[in-house]
Amino acid sequence: MITQSKQQREPTYQWAEGFKKSIPVAMGYLPAGIAFGVLAQVAGVPVWATIMLSIVLYAGAAQYACLPMLSAGLPVGSIATNIAAINLRHVFYGVPLLQYLPTHKLAKTYCLFALTDETFSVMTSLPANTRQALILPVSLFNQSWWVLASAVGVMIGSALNDLVPNLDFALICLFVILAYEQFQSIKRYFPIGIAVIGLVSALLFTSDWLLLVAIAICMLLILTRAFWIQRTVTGDSNDQ
């Protein structure tokens, strides 16, 4: 009876629809992933290591950041610390989507692992009643596009880097496009304000640790806002 109940709660995944929803992400992942593969070859990273980074790490910004560190031969601990700082923002991504995660433990673990900026953007722009059926297909297709693009970049090699300089800018363009689409869908100004305040404040303190300080300031502002809202709601309830 328990097994049957769990099977009933497991959603029917919409693979065809998930593929369609992943197409806009693919349009950004393909050039950005190819650029990563090319830059990895320029940096002297082995082919197998480049593909494994896209499979095991699967974080565009962190993968780009890995390349100069791997080329410089930095210790694994230093590389891991930097990657953890860059991916710290992902901790917040899972919170709004917890109720839509698959019930199967393996599928749930994978969805949490594959919850990138782009997947989060797609999922939060979908109607709530379709998210659980689409989160696994969208996550899997998105990573497939990234791994495929990285493999293509590896096969092209360093030749493209000579023809098209500054390939790493492709990932920044993808983030800008996704942020714009997300704003068009949700129309919330608070995240933009938090990001601007975090960046400007971080610039006043440091240039070497800009990303880490900006993320820390954004986290502090988000927590402060949440605490203020909770306090306001509690105060209103007590007054009644």
| Calpha distance 5→185 (Å, rounded) | 35
Phi-psi region of 126 (alpha: psi -120 to 50; beta: other; left: phi over 0): beta
For residue 109, tell me if it sits in a domain. yes
Shared-domain flag, residues 96 and 206:
no
- Fill in the amino acid letter for 139: S
| Calpha distance 187→208 (Å, rounded) | 33
Task: Give the pLDDT confidence of 154-189 residue by residue, as tens digits.
Answer: 888 766 656 656 655 666 676 676 677 667 766 778
Q: How many CA atoms lie within 13 A of 227 on its CB side?
A: 6
Shared-domain flag, residues 102 and 161:
yes
Instruction: List the domain range (segments joined by +) for residue 34.
Output: 10-187
Q: How many CA atoms lie within 13 A of 194 on its CB side?
A: 16
> Does pTM surpass 0.85?
no
Domain count, the chain: 2
Candidates 113, 119, 120, 68; CA nearest to 96 is: 120
Tokens standing for residue 222? 């988000």
Shared-domain flag, residues 170 and 85:
yes
Task: Give the pLDDT confidence of 115-136 residue by residue, as tens digits.
Answer: 988 898 889 888 889 999 999 9
Shared-domain flag, residues 80 and 23:
yes
For residue 4, tell me if it sits in a domain. no
Shared-domain flag, residues 73 and 33:
yes
| Helix or strand (DSSP H, E) at 151 | helix 131-156
